[in-house]
Structures are given as structure tokens and as C-alpha cells.
Structure 1
Amino acid sequence: MAADFSRPGSLYGAVDLGARKQALEAQARRETAGPAGAASAVIETTSATFNADVVERSLNVPVIVEATVPRAEQVQQFSGTMEKLAAEAGGAWLLARVDVEANPELAQALRMRAVPTVYLAFQGQLMPLFEGPLPEAQLRQALAQVFEQLGIELLAPPEGEGPAEPPIDPDLLAAEQAIEKGDLDAAAAAYERLLARNPGDEDAKIGLAGVGLVRRTQHLDEAGVLRRAAEDPADVDLQIQAADLQMLSGAVDEAFERLVGVVRRTSGADRDKARVHLLGLFDALPSDDPSVTKGRRNLANALF
């Protein structure tokens, strides 16, 4: 069976639509650092260059291979964390990233089952490490165990560099742990507790909206829904389901525009249903996300 590149390799990645914010921040940092800084953080490899970029380099230094789909928002936070850890390593190991959507033959050769899949190349040998995007703490632990076996010490960030991160809220932590276990009910309850204490908490708002999105789509036939929605643009419920599926697969702008189109074409209860659902999808992303800003502007134009 071919690997499914449209969805992340774990439920954690599917819910974490807030990763778009971290991805935008990481992109800004890379642009500030310039071409040299970006090049030092990650090797962008392809089927044609994989042997030279990964296998041959691994004869001198370990190479961690991140096989992923860079355009998928659900994995971009993980990719940013990988770059961060590679930079901290100070050359003790290298990070190579391959876009498996653009290099399907390499994905097949790697026998991928999920996006992302992470491999270790060492002394010319390639071995799988884990599948699916991990939270930073688990990623650090996984890599530390690998490099401990190789006798390589991972570098921690220099002491005193940057502000200390505040401790994670216990309910936010409980929600993340529940998501990792696939327990959507427990995750939703934890996010709701946090919002009850702090109604303005954006992480909880994004997380709860993401849980709702996964709940609504987990039993849908994606191809079937999208096909029927294209055949029957007047069916508001179908358009809403299609927008949810597009949102989850990373086609955020397309999902927003689909519902804006429904608002333009309809009136009364149908129009209000599409409008309210679109506002709910906005909640699944940071309020300053460019797609949300664009979507709100288009919605206002459609309404007035």
C-alpha cells in the first residue's frame, strides 16, 4: 500500500494545527539568518542526491533523515524542532530532509508508512527510528537515546541564552498526553478545564477546535465526500464536511474559501450554518495566522 502523505503519522500531529504559528516563526528566523544559516540547519536532499547527501556523509558524521511533506502544516512544528536540535548539536550530527511527495520513488525505497518518518544514517547504513511527529520533549529523549548508544553527546542550549520558557499548564499537558494516546474525550475535557480558568488561552482554544475537527472527520471517506461536494455545491452539509477534510489535510485556504463561497451563494439558515462553521474553523489556528486574516476579510466581503 502506498504511504498516505495527506495526513500526519499520529493523532497528535492531526490535532496540532497551531503548529502553523511555530512554522511561521521558524521561517522568519531562517530568513533573518540568511542563506548560510538555513543551509547549516538542514540539508534538503532528493532521490538524485540522497547517496551523496546522506549515505556518504554518514561515513564521517551521523545523519538524521526526516522524510516528510514540508507543505503539510501539521508537521511543520516538528520540522522546526528538528532544525532547532540540529543547530544545538553544533555539527555532532546533521539533519537531512527529503520531501517524499516530490520524491515518491525514495519514499517507496524507504518503505514509509507515515509522515514524517525519521531515520538514522550511520557509517553508510540506514535504519528507521520512529514514525509520526513527536513533541519536543519526547523527540529530545528519543534522539538522546540514539546518540548515547553511538557515544555522541547532544549539546544543550548555552546556559543563559534566551528567556526561560514558562512551565507548561497541567491541563495543557494532560490534553497533549491524551492526544498522544488517541483519547479525544480526555483531551477535550482538559482543554475545557483550561478555558474555564483562562478563557483567553489561545493554545486551549486551538487545541479544542482541533479535537472537534478530528472528531467530525475521523469516520468520513475523504475521497467520497470531496467528490460528492464537487457534484452538489448546493448541499451545505457536504460543503462543511469537505471543508473540514481540507482543513485537516493542510489545505486551509481552500477550506476557508469553500465556506466563504457557500455564504455568498446562500441565505437564511444555510448561510448562517456555513458562517458559524467557518468561524469555528478560524479558532483552530492562531488569531494572527495569515490565512485567518484573509479568511475573515473574505467572509466580511461575502456578508456585506
Structure 2
Amino acid sequence: MDYEVRDFTRDVLQASAQQPVLVDFWAGWCAPCKMLGPILEQLAAAAQGRWTLVKVDVDAHPDLAQQHQVRGIPAVKLFVDGQVVDEFTGALPQSALEAWLAERIPSPAARQVAQARAELAHGRRAAACELLQPALAAEPDSREARGLLALAVVLDDPQQARELATGIREDCDSHAAASAAQCIADLLTLDAEALPAGRGQAHHRAAIEALRAGDIEAALGHLIACVMDDRAYRDDGARKACVALFELLGAEHPQLRDWRRRLQRALH
């Protein structure tokens, strides 16, 4: 396929309003250009239209090189909506180039995960599931999608949530969601009748019943009462469950700040 520029305004500036355009400024005498060029072409062919590649021979188009402040080659510039949003100079190995592109031009699945994270922040778990399930089907190794989906499904399917959350490490963006899902799944699957004796028993049992009924705020009320009456009950389990339920409510929940304050008061 011929990637050489024909009309920079049409091929790059106008086209980048529809999809990202990666421009490779190169020359035939440049050894690093000869290394980088085929890698870019291979990745462009595999991109399936997520972005396009345009190559500019700086010897044939010195005006374009000057206009876009090319100081050394190969110079790679990413255009979106007619503007350069990122760039680098020099040849990168394929793995580094793939990582650079993945960060700046996310896959459809990665965009779905980002949208799902926003839905979860507002507590819209069903909408998040609709985005995360196809995202995970497209990219089964996505730990971020797994962790977020675990939180989205935990009230309906604690066992699935537990399986999805397994192995999500602390360096993953969805670690907090996965940890919360694990904690909530553990709470939901407790035998409420076999809880250990103590001042926190009744509150803990009521919290489990409320959570099984899908009433997160009622569950929080009982758990905070448990913290006040017997914080050590089940190894500080009520406080840990509150933190997990805060994650489930979502960072944009209108009552989240109030619930956090209530827990802080119970702890002091």
C-alpha cells in the first residue's frame, strides 16, 4: 500500500477530523527511517482503520518539513482534528511503538472500558456491564475490564465477581474495584446465621440482608452502626465492607461524601 502524501491538507489535516493520522517524516538516505518505516506500515495495516498512516518524504516536500518544524528524522507526529497531539523523533523498537500507540490511540475495547469506568462512578452498573462484557470478549486479557466488571456484577453474581477479581494486582487501574468486589462477594456469601457472637452480630446480619436485597445505603447504615458498637467484630469487617461499598456507590454518588463523614465519626 502506498502511504505517501498527496495533499497534506486533505490527507492529514482534514482526515484527522475523522480518525487519528500518524505522519512519518522520512528520507530515503536515512537509515533509522528505513528501520522504522516498515514497522509503521505493518502496524497501520493491522490497525483496521482505527488510525491511518501518511508518509512525507522531506526531500520531496521540504516545505512541509519546515512548516511542521521537523528538526531530525524520522519524525513521527500524531494529528487529531488537524492538530499535533503527540510526537517523537528517532526510531523506536516495535514493542515501544505499540505501547506508544496504545496509550494515545486506544482500541475500541479500551474506549469501552473508559466509558464503563465513568458509568460506575455514577453507580450505573447495568450500563457498565453492557460496555465491559463486549470489551472483555474482545480483549480477554484486560485486567482493567475484569476488575471493573467484577464490581459491576457483584450484587447479582458474587461468585462470578470473585472469579473476575482474582489476580488483579495493585499496579492495575482496576485494583480498587476488584478488591471491593472481593470484599462485597465475601459479605454476600456469608452464612448470616453462623456469624460469631458479639455486639456487632445483629448489625452485620442486617447489613447482609439489606445488601442481598440490593439496598446499599441500608447496608451502610447497619455497618456503620457495627463500627460504632464493636469495631473489632470480624476483624474490622464492617469498616472494610463500608470502604468496599463506597467503591460500589461510585465516586460521583451524591451521598458518598456524607457516608464517608459518618464512617469517620464512627471511627473516632
Q: TM-score, normalised by structure 2?
A: 0.39
Greater Rg over alpha carbons, structure: 2
Which of 1 and 2 has higher RCO (CA within 8 Å, sep 6+)?
A: 1
